[in-house]
Structure 1
């Protein structure tokens, strides 16, 4: 799977103001993509990225050269799709894909009882059926007689280019070869999510409850309205408004796992901003291949106290537990999780999802150890 590399040419095509960093709250770390491509400042970029991931798990990137036209076209297509009757949208709802492709009417955050007040659409890499089978990823599903595929594919490819410099900098910060994460994700199940947050959520609901993302990291370009908040290192919820030519990077749970917590997974949420306003956003979730080993790296264990604090696990292991927790997993996936041994490894490091354990129990596939742990906490 070839990804068109981002270059200095792409970055400088779009001329955002040099004052872009001032848009962000002072507690949000900001890195400049121009620094990555300049040999004299690349080390500065890597150091700033690493500090942000160690301290808060997120940062803003400015001077990205992100394709604004592709973003706007995708938003226009998403608005039109989400405005369809529910019966039309449900034609591309695919429960057997575990919420990983097509239309998803909602989910709830990890260990959260309330459902998020949103609907979304998942798009994977635009690959052939042969590549889909070889890479072990689900095929995309598109509505009939509705122009959605081309705008979404164009945005996917526009955002995908930005994965490479971020991954190279992360790898270098950890003492790995620059291609360490790129090798994992070049055929990984990277997902573009188009999200619609309807106006005026009920008083007992929220657009998206406090959560972390399950992936390696997430790219968030400009949304159509306010609402995104990140938890800073002082424990404060900070509003984030992303301008053109910039995006936010959130570290994910898989990155936290492989770094033994050296790099943090960003805690964030989306709150209704009032005024009878709906919100649309586009989010790129960066995933490795299903069988990539995300067990903590030895050097990360050494730098975080010498004790392994996170489980031995693959990307598929960690995703499977999260999908069960979110209520998106098929019965077959639930059964597989119960027999995989992952929950026991997560219990070893006190990181097993209570909600996922309860689902396993409800389906009669919880192990004795899982049942014992549930009995202890209930």
Structure 2
């Protein structure tokens, strides 16, 4: 499997991007509209937050799933027994957020959500007729005014030797949602499952924006758009002392959206959250 970057400004960008999503479950965009300066600023400000005790004032809400998830309550990937070595904050416009960080992250959420909706419209445009027939409604309408789209600020702390044996920063998993929008993290480690037992390193280059299919779009498309497995491996040597920050936006449909004969968006999400143990 090869991930080829598509120029966002190219006249056939939409077609090439959707072809990549169909073939690999991933699309890579270059010359995209997400500001590197803004993302770098967010990384620095939230690194300070994760380094502080203030994060504990925002312990996650078990009902709404907003706020701070510590390493003690973070996810255990489906099929694994060890928790991932990570902590994170769930940002929703309606949820809690430190006041000093709110404006910057709110602006980023708005602009990235707009881009994600545009990319979903590309998927809709280039879905074959037999695939479009499976959609219970237009893909773009599934996310109209959705309050479920999640921005996760992820912090993988430095490794200090106290980690459980065989635990890694993010065990192999697939995302739950429709599309995930991911600017480059500040450190490498992301890998995509290739053919057989192979894993492909995703370059830590801000010029590339990574977009991947989530399980909900796989379900809605009858498998035409595959939700590809990915993971974040542990650093080696001196890099073990470095934190890693990443900023995935998970584009979610409204809860009542019918994905298939088996699931609504709400029932699918609830099932997966139980599997993740959060």
Secondary structure of the 1:27 match is: coil
What's 2:187 paired with? Answer: 225
2:153 is the alignment partner of 1:197: no
- Structure 1 residue 234 displacement after superposition: 5.2
Contact between 2:17 and 2:28, CA under 8 Å: does it hold in 1?
no
More strand per residue: 1 or 2?
A: 2
2:65 is the alignment partner of 1:65: no
Residue correspondence of structure 1 range 95-110 to structure 2 within 5 A: 95-97=61-63, 100-105=65-70, 106-110=74-78
What's 2:216 paired with? Answer: 254
**More divergent stretch after superposition (66-75 vs 189-198):** 66-75
The C-alpha deviation readout for 1:153-209, integer Å capped at 9, x for no partner, is 1221231221133111100121459x9222111222111100000111624310000
Q: Which runs of 5+ in 2 are unaligned?
A: none
What's 1:75 paired with? Answer: 43
Q: TM-score normalized by structure 2?
A: 0.87
Secondary structure of the 1:163 match is: helix
Q: Which has the larger radius of gyration?
A: 1
What's 1:362 paired with? Answer: none
Runs of 4+, deviation exceeding 3 Å: none
2:95 is the alignment partner of 1:140: yes
Match of 1:317 among 243, 267, 277: 267
The C-alpha deviation readout for 1:123-151, integer Å capped at 9, x for no partner, is 11x2xxxxxxxxxxxx31123xx622122
CA RMSD between the two structures: 2.0
Secondary structure of the 2:248 match is: strand
Number of aligned residues? 262
2:276 is the alignment partner of 1:326: yes
- Structure 1 residue 245 displacement after superposition: 3.8
What's 1:292 paired with? Answer: 257
Contact between 2:88 and 2:152, CA under 8 Å: does it hold in 1?
yes
More helix per residue: 1 or 2?
A: 1
Contact between 2:187 and 2:244, CA under 8 Å: does it hold in 1?
yes
Q: TM-score normalized by structure 1?
A: 0.65
Structure with greater contact order relative to length (CA < 8 Å, sep ≥ 6): 2
